[in-house]
Amino acid sequence: MRVLLQRVAEASVTVDGEVIGATERGLLVLICAMQGDGPNEAERLAAKIAKLRIFQDENGRMNRSVLDIGGGALVVSQFTLAADTKRGNRPGFSSAAAPEEGEKLYEHFAQALTDQGIDVAKGRFGADMKVALINDGPVTIWMDTDA
């Protein structure tokens, strides 16, 4: 699974003019299931993200996790994280999981993050979403279960 993780002051996702998910201080998690991914990758990634120390402590050091600060997460599916730009000018997405499998893993990941104790809001898989955020820092981290 691939993730683009952003530390946010707030984030929201809108579909058809309606806000369907939002979080205040915490994380925006853009996620893509890749071919060959399964529930184990989703659970491992959720556990890692829950404990990742990227929030500032009282000394201004990145020493606290989203759990430590009582933050939330907005989880948004984004198959374009699978983009292959090696050839030509149009990215290919063939390494992304098939839509049915991708949706199952997206939902499994969101539940695994909830099971870690994080308040999770979600986008809508496969929808045309508008994502708004205030990036805090900015802090943006790329994660890949294959790396």
Q: What is the pLDDT of residues 97-147, one digit of tens each?
A: 999 999 999 999 999 999 999 999 999 999 999 999 999 999 999 999 986
Judge whether 25 and 67 are in contact, CB under 8 Å: no
Give CA–CA dist 49/5, Å, rounded. 9
Judge whether 19 and 135 are in contact, CB under 8 Å: no
* 3-state class (DSSP) for residue 96: strand
Give CA–CA dist 47/58, Å, rounded. 24
Average pLDDT, integer, range 87-106: 95
Give CA–CA dist 7/120, Å, rounded. 14
Please report which residue ranges of the chain form alpha helices under DSSP H. Answer: 39-51, 66-69, 99-115
Give CA–CA dist 132/23, Å, rounded. 11
pLDDT tens-digit readout, 10-69: 999 999 999 999 999 999 999 999 999 999 999 999 999 999 999 999 999 999 999 999
The catalytic residue positions are 80
Question: Residue 130: left (phi > 0), alpha (psi -120 to 50), or beta?
Answer: beta
So what's the architecture of 2-133 in CATH?
3-Layer(bba) Sandwich (3.50)
- Tokens 């279960």 locate to 145
